Structure 1
């Protein structure tokens, strides 16, 4: 019985590893992804080598709405700390500071998410979808429809997503594909209203006092990464995030 169990376990592990290593190959069957690799991968590899990233790596994405910046952080899988690799500007923006509350409000969400979709056939060239709404978003939306389909994508138009142009999404999509293919099953995407320093918090709370409790909660996750350069484990409680 034990040997049978181990055989089954090995089969499951082998299938998982095969699917993992085939992710890039599957993505490359799509013309836009193939084109993105052809245009961007050689130069990205040179930049990775310059940053002493030569093996498989993990990816962390941080977005800041007030600054309109998308930060790409990387670390080799045998390292503990992330290093800033690239920063891309939002090429368009919708809504104001504060979380997304309902469908159609044009708001970019705020909170702690991860990539759930690679879309090589996007209407916005290439796109990476996140798991909005999470449980805290659903609670905040109450009886309203929270909306969905939040992506980092190409082109330069938005009603609540993060567009960075076709040219730049090629780079981000390739890096996300490499991270996923290298074993990172959950790529974190943390979206902040702004860089949540105490100075910025006080500045923006003067204009948006209704978000005080929420932004102070987000600041805990922001501070953890700033201090340790590691992505915290995020736990969604009833109405707030907890970090480990």
Structure 2
């Protein structure tokens, strides 16, 4: 009997790890639920939930993330849904180095989907981009950090958390959108409603950054 119990305990040590998920298995697990929860939102945009492009706009001061959709490049963007941040770290201003706990600011893309995140699910943001690297070289900075995600849960050290239910919706949208590497714009605040640029003491190039972000946001007015 003792040997039987020990055998089962040993087996459980090797096979108790969490089963690995795939993007496809997550789509199967949450797809129907998300389709129902976003049905009214898609109807308001008059865009087919099976035929759309998407983008994400994130605003640090407001601590909200907007998902916008359109049918194709010839159509205008429409707001699908707003998701509040569930936590926040750092302050207004771009990410400059590894470990500064800053949420980046800039024009990025979705790099890949992570169905096995320790924060439920996550979407990789393509930080650092070419602008980040150019300014780092100008400043003499080398370790810019990385692994910036939009994810679930209610904790962050430089990423954007939106909670488990909300990341399920955004993740499923990301599996269905026609533009797989869709835009992710992260701004200090919404320049569409507040045209002023923050002054950031640590750098001399914030005007260049914010002019670029502000110009990009005009595509989503």
Taking structure 1 as the reference length, the TM-score comes to 0.72
Match of 2:170 in 1: 172
Q: CA RMSD in A?
A: 2.3
> Aligned ranges for residues 177-196 of structure 1 at < 5 Å?
177-179=175-177, 183-196=178-191
CA-CA distance at 1:223 after TM superposition:
3.9
Q: 2-side partners of 1:157 and 1:184: how far apart?
A: 29
Which has the higher Rg, Structure 1 or Structure 2?
A: 2
- 1:225 equivalent to 2:204? Answer no
Taking structure 2 as the reference length, the TM-score comes to 0.79
Deviation per residue, 1:138-177 (Å, 9 max, x gap): 2333333110100000011111000000010011111111
Q: 2-side partners of 1:188 and 1:197: how far apart?
A: 17
3-state SS, counterpart of residue 121 of structure 2: strand
Q: 1:224 to 1:124 in 2, by over 3 A?
A: closer
Deviation per residue, 1:54-92 (Å, 9 max, x gap): 251000111111111101110012642101111111110
CA-CA distance at 1:49 after TM superposition:
2.4
Unaligned runs of at least 5 residues, structure 2: 1-21
3-state SS, counterpart of residue 115 of structure 2: strand
Q: 1:105 to 1:221 in 2, by over 3 A?
A: closer
Q: 1:44 to 1:134 in 2, by over 3 A?
A: same
- 1:136 equivalent to 2:131? Answer yes
Return 69-78 or 164-173, whichever deviates more. 69-78
Match of 1:42 in 2: 36
Match of 1:12 in 2: none
Which of residues 64, 70, 74 in structure 1 aligns to 2:65?
70
- 1:110 equivalent to 2:102? Answer no
Unaligned runs of at least 5 residues, structure 1: 1-25, 231-244
Q: Structure 1: which 4+ aligned runs deviate by more than 6 Å? A: none
Contact 1:59 1:75 in 2 (8 A): yes
Match of 1:87 in 2: 82
Q: 2-side partners of 1:117 and 1:88: how far apart?
A: 20
Match of 2:17 in 1: none
Q: 1-side partners of 2:55 and 2:100: how far apart?
A: 27
Q: In the comparison of the two structures, how many residue pairs are matched?
A: 196
